[in-house]
Amino acid sequence: MTKFRETRNVGIIAHVDAGKTTLTERMLHLSGAVHRTGSVDDGTTTTDHDPLEQDKGITISSAAVHFDWRGYGVNLIDTPGHADFTIEVERSLRVLDGAVVLLDAVSGVQPQTEKVWRQADAHDVPRIVFVNKLDRPGASLDMCLDSLRIRLGVDPVVVGLPGPEGWVDVLAPSADPRRVALVEACAELDDDVAAAYLEDRPVSRAMLVQAVREGVRARRLLPVLAGSAVNDVGVAQALDAIVELLPAPRSVLADGPLAFCFKVVFPKFGQMSFLRVYAGSLRRGDAVWSSGQRRRVRVGRLVRLFGDRLDDVEVLESGAIGAVIGGGLRTGDTLSAPSAQVSLEGLEAPEPVVHLAIEPRRPSDRERLAQHLDRMLLEDPSLTRRTDPETGEALLGGVGQLHLEVTLARLRARSGVEVRVGRPKVALRSTVARVVERRHRHVKRTGGPGQFAEVLLRLEPLAVGAGFVFVDETRGGAVPAEYVAGVDKGVREALARGPLDGHPVVDVRVTLLDGATHSHDSSELAFKIAAQDCLREILAAADPVLLEPLAGLEVTAPDEVVGGIVGDLQRRRAVVDALDVVASGKRVRARVPLVELFGYAGDLASLSQGRAQHSAAPSGYAPAPRELQADLLKRAG
């Protein structure tokens, strides 16, 4: 059994097509975990074992493997690079202690690189960078370093790269200018390195490794390696950097076992729940407390993960990543000792931005389809299902078109049901443009207890992306604390169905300024109804504004077709933010209304004769032009 201090839990995160799965496969081969290197093109890699992944040539679901490297046990998670599968990155980073950020040496930092970087920041995950595909025409390590500085605001230091005579270990003593820069960076973080540098004494490799490791752990230093995964250049050194520079699992004090369920899947044999053990040990047959089920459960069959292969174990020790078969767990559940019940912070799933109406072609298949969809909703917290109140249609919500396409393909394959699909619809929001105050009194007299509540509310707009804020500014007990909760609930319900065709209202502050009660007839329910009615009146008078989802788009194309591409984007209401020179021509960076990107891949192929590449990622919401609001509401309805 690998000891706690000799374990590394790491993920590989990057933009799509940066080479994450290829790097993972080469690491497995070098470590001896596999005897034949699989290929993404052939659909034979260890981590892309889903038939859809093999068909599309991209990673869709995060996959875990375990292997040994120089006496260390490595649990590695290969994550998707496409923006539509961001929940897989989110749940992986939630349980990891380190990450390798992959860059394409020709493209540098790309849109999804920025997204996964922010996700890693949110979870305080230490990182190293591997610049991949250094063998490709147009590859530039210096360009990649500049893009890290400019687009991510970090100051990278090179610790290893290929040279004319073999691998250059910048950590080892030499007169290389890169090592001088590395020593100077470490001298600002480590007293021993600083003393040796100031006294002109040699700085050993061991001293630098220690300083870099501490700098990475504190997120004050970003080591960079470069190579080519497909050619096995720099792969062994990247593995060395994982065990030398990334931290061991963080220890957590707990009375007994403590584990977190970060993913649930339903393979053919039933349910399997992915776990990270934070403290103690989890043994088969143990009785533990499940925070989600609010009861004691028995730990079933335990396994370690190697792609789609399951290796049975009797125990998962602290720091381990594995899975339990059965048990009815849900994503975000915590397992702890029944005598010391703990509930760890859960996962936040992204809001859906695209909806599709779905129904079975045969009404007799409706129940079967619903059962399989229920399981998929448990597997993927970024999927939603709701019923259109006007048409009664079932609306499936997701992060993007590809997300929903993959979901529908899996749904058809698993259920065997033919599914009829409507056209995609974007998820609109609304906000307000004016500050409005209003007083409202709710009175209801019946033969029994009556209802009385009076509220004075103020609604004001906030910046885009600020969300919803509720503030209680009443004085002197005008609205007792037990009734303020009712006001909050009523306000939230009113905002959930806004004045523009029921689209939710966001980015506003609602302030409870005053109110009045009745000695017998006031209640939390009465104040909820009063707040709801009051806010609906206010919303109608506050100049509501429709918000539409945007996508951050990058298009790389040869110079001769860029003009046509930019013109087409402007016709799609895009705002072009930058036009960068790259090795293959130009890179256009723009923000585009998501509704204008439906079918864009085919249009771009026609415009560029198939010579352009593009990627897009959700980029928040923005006010829609007022002259287009009616059309957008119709298209979303």
Give pLDDT, residue 282.
95
Residue 70 to residue 635: CA distance in whole angstroms: 58
Residue 634 clears pLDDT 50, i.e. is over it: yes
Give pLDDT, residue 537.
96
313 forms beta bridges with 302
298-321 pLDDT, tens digit each: 999 999 999 989 999 999 999 999
Q: Which of 139-143, 250-254, 278-282 has the lowest mean pLDDT?
A: 250-254
> Are the beta carbons of 73 and 7 closer than 8 angstroms?
yes
Residue 100 to residue 89: CA distance in whole angstroms: 12
Region 375-401: what's the mean pLDDT?
86
pLDDT > 90 in the chain, percent:
73
Residue 444 to residue 427: CA distance in whole angstroms: 37
Residue 90 clears pLDDT 70, i.e. is over it: yes
Give pLDDT, residue 1.
44
Token pair belonging to 613: 């590449």
318-353 pLDDT, tens digit each: 999 999 998 789 999 999 999 999 999 989 898 888
Region 447-462: what's the mean pLDDT?
90
With b meaning 16 or more CB within 10 Å and e meaning fewer, what string describes 36-70?
ebbebeebebbbbbbeebbebebbbbbbbbbbebe
Residue 630 clears pLDDT 90, i.e. is over it: no
| DSSP string computed for 10-34 | EEEEESTTSSHHHHHHHHHHHHTS-
575 forms beta bridges with 591
Angle at which helices 524-541 and 481-496 cross, to 10°: 40
480-501 pLDDT, tens digit each: 999 999 999 999 999 999 999 8
Region 587-611: what's the mean pLDDT?
91
567-578 pLDDT, tens digit each: 999 999 999 999
Residue 5 clears pLDDT 60, i.e. is over it: no
Give pLDDT, residue 270.
87
Give pLDDT, residue 4.
46
Q: Please state, rounded to an integer, the average pLDDT across all residues of the chain.
A: 92
